[in-house]
Amino acid sequence: MEEPADKVRLGGMADPALASDEERAAWHRSFAVATFNRSWELLEQPERSSDDDAELLATAFASRWHWSQAGNDQNQALGDHQIAKVASALGMGSLALLFAGKALAVRGRGMGRLAPGGGV
């Protein structure tokens, strides 16, 4: 049976509300990783447009949000760290400090080193 044309499929799920917890978590993890990687690509560009900067900030926040839905404390702290890096690169000092503090708080709870190689 063919689905209606107006039905959106997200990561293979026709309706995320009907998916299992495991399927939803996998979907969130997939988007968390993809948006984290995209933010790194943009962050490493030697020159960015204002649209690139907007996408950079949006992807960092999107990654952090998806980790809040399916990740552990370390994943979420890595997302906070990424937002801090992005905000710093964009000259948003207050935002950078806020999220750097959130990331460091996880270290204070004994979650270990926060580094992309050991996180996502």
User: What would the mean pLDDT of 92-109 be, rounded to a whole number?
Assistant: 91
pLDDT of 5: 45
pTM: 0.78
Q: Determine the pLDDT at residue 108.
A: 74
Q: What is the pLDDT confidence band of residue 4, given thresholds at 50, 70 and 90? A: very low
Check: CB of residue 67 under 8 Å from CB of residue 75: yes
pLDDT over 50 (residue 29): yes
In terms of phi and psi (left: phi > 0; alpha: psi -120 to 50; beta: otherwise), the region of 20 is beta
Q: Which residue did the predictor score with more confidence, 11 or 76?
A: 76
